[in-house]
Amino acid sequence: MSSTIAASSSTNTIITNSHNNVPSTTNTFMEGDTNGVEKPEGSNAAAANMNGEKPKKLGGYDFYRSIGSPRYVVAPMVDQSELAWRLLSRSPLPPSLAGPSSTIATLQGKTYIRHPGGADICYTPMIHAKVFMDAKGEGGRNGDGQFNLTFDEEGGEGMVGGVECGDRPLIVQFCANDPDILLAAAKKIEHRCDAVDINFGCPQGIAKRGHYGSFLQDEWDLIHKLISTLHQNLSVPVTAKFRIFPDLAKTIAYAQMMEAAGAQILTCHGRTREMKGQLTGLADWEMIREVKKAVKVPVFANGNLLYREDVDRCLEVTGCDGVMTAEGNLSNPAIFLPADHPHSHPPLTLLASRYLDIVESLKTATAGSAIKAHLFRLLKPVLDTDEELRIKIAACTWSDGLGGFRDIIRDIEGRVEAARKEAGPEWRPPPIDPTTGYRALPIFAAQPQIRPIPVSTEIGGHEDMVTRPASPTSASGLSNPIAPASSIPGTILASRQARHSMIHAPPCIHEDCLAVAASRCPTRACIVHCRAIRAVESGLTEVEAEAEAQKGGLVGMGCEAHEEKMKARKDRMDRKRKNKQEARERAKSKKVEGRAVVRTSGRDSPRSDMDEETFVAAVAGGTATMA
């Protein structure tokens, strides 16, 4: 059962339910909030289509409507918004659970299928323009793995990966600092997407070293050139994603400059370049709202989305045309399901299994690192209860197929069965706690990962920087297997409203050290100076102790809290190294076995038509059989 929605320039839309064919009138959700800005109708493009002429490149709201006026947007995420994940995000639930889909018809004659809880539009992972241009094609070092040009699945229409709607609408994102290289890369994929986006928001160290992302934000002439080069030379529109400045006037001028350069959609991430990792705070929706008011092109808001209620509230507060989510989507790809949908916050094992089904159905390879990262994220509530489960996922190899991953999911289903029975078949997510802004969810349900407020910069690693709110007990008073609250040393969990005003820990006691003091260290020092101070107490000179500590020595001489943490970190790294070594040995063993089979085949029976190298690769991948 599906609905058909015709895109129109009027304020109303006719929705026809195909089940009963009874039309009803409702306010359209596709127009967005114009804030009084007049929008062109796009009739010229429609007329060109009808006459068989090449349609004129659309811009602004004409372009926005031509792709179905998307409101729910999946962000570009490195190694995370790959094809399989985009398809899951577009259709997170099996049709039997999701309910009826809708078909969006545009004035340009395009139709898009929308699935309940699914994203309206997705971005690819950020693609490094120069690396993409240097790729050697399928099978090369980078292949065309950043965007597969060998098959017709990425940017494909129709049925892709078992999902009806394919990989459209799609925006491909690049990072670059050279307009010519950027244009050459964009030209390679313009026929496979609806627009090309330029990343001006990445705040990570790799972007600083590569001189792209948010580290271009002070070079407005270069940014203008990058945007205008694509705007003037591509057959599809160019869009831009950026972070705000602390100053509102500068942020508005920045957005207007991008609009003037030719950006047809702007995505405003309401955090500054410095707000990342341990210093991530609340995104500023008020500033996003002012950006929206100041420009005439569609604007997507980005930041602070943990639940569907946040999505709705963000649209209301900012007045933006769409809402983009990254971390919220990674933890719950069904985040766009309405809060009153019977399968809101679906079982995490259901989402994980559906993702693997999509991965398995595609010709386009999904990187093993992406599969593992998604499972770590989706299944984290359960993985937190048993570190060995995480180690098992890390040890799985794509060359062995997906059987190992599926075995782990079945194991997890068994572990959460008691919780699901206790919750009962009529379980529905509880309301968000108005005091904290969080929702306590059972361990089996898909749920956001909530970044705690750090009081120590020594909490290392992505996995160590996420937790959830405290869990309630059942009505009977018995312990309910709700996703456990974290007790990560050096962090506290504050309400969402208070996060931006938290005072961080003081710096290390050593006057020349830029690190922050660890919360449980009695000397209020970082790990290096904690060890150095105790080494001096044991008889070393300050110079000797400092030199030894700085090069990683004096292990075991720090306070108990520091040494426990460092030992746990070392144990994790040792396990990772062991898993990688075992995976390499298994792959080597398969390769040797494959060669042995080929040699035996050569003596005892005629060789097949495939060459030895291909045959060995097939055997190693478990896909070849002997005649």
**Residue 124: per-residue pLDDT:** 97
Please state, in angstroms and as integers, the Cα–Cα distance from residue 527 to each residue in 254, 540, 553, following that order. Answer: 41, 17, 11
Torsion on CA atoms 315, 318, 320, 324, rounded to nearest 10:
-70
pTM to 2 decimal places: 0.75
Beta bridge partners of 241: 199, 267
Q: Do the strands 127-128 and 299-302 form a parallel or antiparallel pair, or are they unpaired?
A: unpaired
Q: Residues 6 or more apart from 527 whose CB is under 8 A from it?
A: 458, 518, 558, 562, 565, 566
Residues annotated as catalytic are 202
Contact 277, 203 (CB under 8 A): no
Say what the pLDDT of residue 128 is: 93
User: Quick one: pLDDT at residue 598?
Assistant: 57
Residues of the chain with pLDDT under 70: 1-55, 136-145, 277-279, 451-506, 516, 519, 594, 596-627
Pick the closest to residue 307 from 337, 341, 273, 262 (CA basis): 337
Residues 495-515 as b or e (16 or more Cβ within 10 Å = b) = eeeebeeeeebebbebeeeeb
Which of helix, strand or coil describes residue 324?
A: strand
Q: What is the DSSP letter of 140?
A: S
pLDDT of residue 496: 56
- My answer on whether omega of the bond before 23 falls inside 30° of 0, hence cis, is no
Residue 449, pLDDT score: 85
Strands 453-454 and 322-325: unpaired
Q: What is the largest CA-CA distance in the chain?
A: 89
**Residue 412 to residues 113, 331, 379: CA-CA distances in angstroms?**
33, 17, 9
- Residue 434 has a pLDDT of 84
DSSP summary character for residue 97: H
pLDDT in tens, 361-383: 999 999 999 999 999 999 999 99
pLDDT at site 558: 87
> Regarding beta strands 170-175 and 163-164, do their DSSP bridges make them parallel or antiparallel, or are they unpaired?
unpaired
Q: Which pLDDT score is estimated for 568?
A: 81
Amino acid at 441: L
Lookup: tokens for 525: 């020092």
pLDDT of 457: 35
Amino acid at 397: T
